[in-house]
Amino acid sequence: MKVETLIIGAGAAGMMCAAHAGPGVLVVDHAKAAGEKIRISGGGRCNFTNLYASPQNFISQNRHFCKSALGRYTQWDFIALVDQYRIAWHEKTLGQLFCDNSAKDIIAMLRAEMDKAGAQLWLQTAVSEISHDGSGFRATLTREGSDQTVTARNLVVACGGKSIPKMGATGLGYQIATQFGLPVIDPRPGLVPLTFSDERFKPLAGVATHARVSANDASFDEAILFTHRGLSGPAVLQASSYWHEGETISVNLIPKGDLLAGLQSHRQSDGRKALTTVLAQHLPARLVDHLKAELPLEGNIADQSDAKLTALCERLADWTLTPAGSEGYRTAEVTLGGVDTGALSSKTMAAKSVPGLYFIGECVDVTGWLGGYNFQWAWSSGWAAGQAIANQ
């Protein structure tokens, strides 16, 4: 069988590309259904983009690479498409847009766009061999128990990263890149809960509080959640993408910075109260109980000098922790690293050294923050490759 364009992966980026790549598109995926990660995303409501998406919300060895695609297919373009399909949406927080009804509405929209473009979709199709004979690509596909050879002028690799192998993530994109001589930045889990070697946070499991979590140069002001094995919640997930094994993170438990004045005023009004009781008005009581082992929290508030209270607030503003690791690809929302952007055109997502070969979405070394940014990258990069192919 001969097609113009073979797209491997019917996820967010692959479907978007298929809708824009012109005639003769075949999309293949080994999963039973297209867009499985879209279906489970955002608690089933898909945080499909972010009102404030801009290149600074993305991590890559080349921070400039994502600018072209994000600038030419923006969050406003995707919102216009969603509106065209009358999919109701709302902003939850921090510019994060979610479907009112179901993430399945986004999948149905993308499938409708693919149908409109005449793209074919083969599900439960395994990809084995891929080669390039100088003029085009040849892929061996296994479908319904039999092998078929497909030749294509263009090959678009849209098979995502390694996150959540249970949902079909395989890392095939990195293998294809390596096969064709493109460098790959070491993939690692991102947007992932952090773990600790001891069980120190077990008694705190389920406790949530607002904090500013910093790793390397990045800081995120959002909720944190203590788990049986460590720390999670949006601020920790965000910081995890900037954290490397062996490094510390800093947790500012009093990000508003007004605790010292609060404690001083309690000292005037409730001098006989235990310091821990007063602190528990500002932080979860179970957390204060836990901190007793690490911080000098004995005595009444009246016994605390300004110097002591200042030192305490400084410690609470910079609680330094060394995670042992992360929950890994089993729960990571994304994969950092991927196909080195130096080997790709930022305008078309095409490999510079192999004509007709494209990489889009999560398999590329561009990773977004939590909050709809990763889907926006999938839409923008998928659109950029699709446009380039259609205009060939």
Ligand X SMILES: Cc1cc2nc3c(=O)[nH]c(=O)nc-3n(C[C@H](O)[C@H](O)[C@H](O)COP(=O)(O)OP(=O)(O)OC[C@H]3O[C@@H](n4cnc5c(N)ncnc54)[C@H](O)[C@@H]3O)c2cc1C
Residues that bind ligand X (CB under 6 A): 8-14, 29-31, 36-37, 40-42, 46-47, 127, 158-160, 163-164, 168-170, 172, 333-334, 361-362, 372-375, 378
Tell me the DSSP string of 247-293: --EEEES-TT--HHHHHHHHHHH-TTSBHHHHHTTTS-HHHHHHHTT
Closer to ligand X by Cβ: residue 30 or 229: 30
Closer to ligand X by Cβ: residue 45 or 212: 45
Closer to ligand X by Cβ: residue 35 or 356: 35
* Strands annotated E in 133-227: 137-143, 146-157, 184-190, 194-195, 208-215, 218-226
Q: What is the smallest separation between the CB atom of 245 and ligand X, expressed in angstroms?
A: 21
Q: What is the smallest separation between the CB atom of 213 and ligand X, expressed in angstroms?
A: 19
Closer to ligand X by Cβ: residue 95 or 262: 95
Q: What is the smallest separation between the CB atom of 41 and ligand X, expressed in angstroms?
A: 3
Alpha carbon 203 to its chain centroid, in Å, reads 29
Q: Which of 215, 239, 17, 214 is nearest to 113 (CA)?
A: 17
**Quick one: angle between helices 104-117 and 75-84, nearest 10?**
90
Q: Tell me the CB-side half-sphere exposure of residue 138, using CA atoms within 13 A.
A: 7
Closer to ligand X by Cβ: residue 30 or 266: 30
Q: What is the smallest separation between the CB atom of 76 and ligand X, expressed in angstroms?
A: 16
Measured between alpha carbons, how far is 246 from 321 in angstroms, rounded to an integer? 11
Q: What angle do CA 103, 105, 111 make, to 5 degrees?
A: 115
Closer to ligand X by Cβ: residue 172 or 288: 172
Measured between alpha carbons, how far is 362 from 11 in angstroms, rounded to an integer? 10
Which residue minimizes CB distance to ligand X? 11
Q: Which of 176, 134, 133, 137 is nearest to 153 (CA)?
A: 137
Closer to ligand X by Cβ: residue 113 or 333: 333
Q: What is the smallest separation between the CB atom of 277 and ligand X, expressed in angstroms?
A: 40
Q: What is the smallest separation between the CB atom of 73 and ligand X, expressed in angstroms?
A: 14
Q: What is the smallest separation between the CB atom of 36 and ligand X, expressed in angstroms?
A: 6
